Amino acid sequence: MSAASAPIVDIRHVSKSFGSLKALNNVSMSMSLGEKVVIIGPSGSGKSTLLRSINKLETVDSGTIIVDGFDINAPTTNINSLRMELGMVFQSFNLFPHKTVLENLTLAPIKLKGMSKAEADEIALKLLDKVGIKEKAHAYPAQLSGGQQQRVAIARALAMSPKIMLFDEPTSALDPEMIGEVLDVMVTLAKEGMTMAVVTHEMGFAREVADRVVFMDHGAIIEEGTPEHFFVNPEHDRTKLFLSQIL
């Protein structure tokens, strides 16, 4: 298979239940290198579960997930080394509060990649500069605003130079005036060619950045397509209803 045609993420017939709730119901989706997929849908539709199953923060009940050629549920797959390729950004930032901003970025490269502190610091400072908070390198996360924390969280994920970035509602916990600064960073990242899977309610972002928009409801993918298709003439009634409610 050529590199261009092989999907970097291939989700096949995945199902997952939480008790009696079916969070994912026979979902299949794939992403190719460099692609930006935005997953939208009402809350409880399974979009976060789908995203979190890509790096095995959720273990699926059935189906297979292939990431970069590895079946993530295979016993032979080292999930920890595979996760180094998958950067993840959370709704609640989840920065390490006992570490400075700089240490948040350098902890994993030093401990997991065996990078020297000097090298890790240099990379971290470059990334902090990129997300616009270099001057906060020695502050603790609690001293930052939500928007700043989320930008640090993005930089922390980037410090491992991942192949794919997963964003789980990155702006949902932010005050409205801070959403822009985080989205700007994400748009820049997209323009640089990063492969991204983004769960979000920010339709403007989806329209601007997405190669493909995926709409989920009740644990299933209802519709997917280009933003043009999606926002201009969606096919399904449920998609239309959802869009009419949020736009």
Partner 1 sequence: MSDTRIIDVGEGAAIPSKSDWGLFNAWTISIIGALAAILYLVIAQPNPYQRLLVYLADGVVITFQVTVMSILCACVIGLITGLGRVSRNKAINLLASTYVEIIRGIPLLVQLFYIYYALGRFLNVHDLTAAIIAMSVCYGAYMGEVFRAGITAIDKGQTEAARSLGFNTKQTMFLVILPQAWRTILPPVGNEFIALLKDTSLVSILAVSDLLRRGREFSSETFLYFETYTMVALIYLVITLILSKGVSIMEARLSHYVRR
Strands of 70-71's sheet in order across: 21-31, 9-18, 62-67, 70-71
Buried-exposed string 194-216: b where 16+ CB fall within 10 A, e elsewhere: bbbbbbbebbebbeebbebbbbb
Q: How far apart are CB 37 and partner 1 at their closest, in Å?
A: 18
Establish if 108 lies at the interface with partner 1 (CB under 8 A): yes
Of 22-61, which residues contact partner 1 (CB under 8 A)? 55, 57
Closer Cβ to partner 1, 92 or 226, answer by number:
92
| Residues in a beta bridge with 217 | 220
d(CA 103, CA 143): 15
When asked if residue 160 is in the footprint of partner 1 (CB under 8 A), the reply is: yes
Nearer to partner 1, 107 or 220 (CB): 107
Q: Does 173 bind partner 1 (CB under 8 A)?
A: no
Judged by CB under 8 A, the stretch of 15-23, 26-34, 95-103, 201-209 that binds partner 1 is: 95-103
Q: Which of 31, 86, 158, 216 binds partner 1 (CB under 8 A)?
A: 86
Distance, in Å, from the CA atom of 221 to the CA atom of 91, rounded to the nearest integer, reads: 22
The only residue of 28, 74, 111, 226 in contact with partner 1, by rule CB under 8 A: 111
Task: Pick one of 23, 123, 157, 183: the residue that binds partner 1 (CB under 8 A).
Answer: 157
The interface with partner 1 within residues 5-24 (CB under 8 A) comprises none
Pairing type for strands 62-67 and 195-199 reads unpaired
> What does the per-residue mask of binding to partner 1 show for 123-142, with x meaning CB under 8 A?
-----------------xxx
128 with 152: CB under 8 angstroms? yes
CA 140, CA 71: separation in Å to the nearest integer? 37
**Looking at this protein, which amino acid is placed at residue 165?**
M
Positions in the binding site for partner 1 (CB under 8 A): 55, 57, 80-81, 83-84, 86-88, 90, 92, 94-98, 107-108, 111-112, 140-143, 153, 156-157, 160
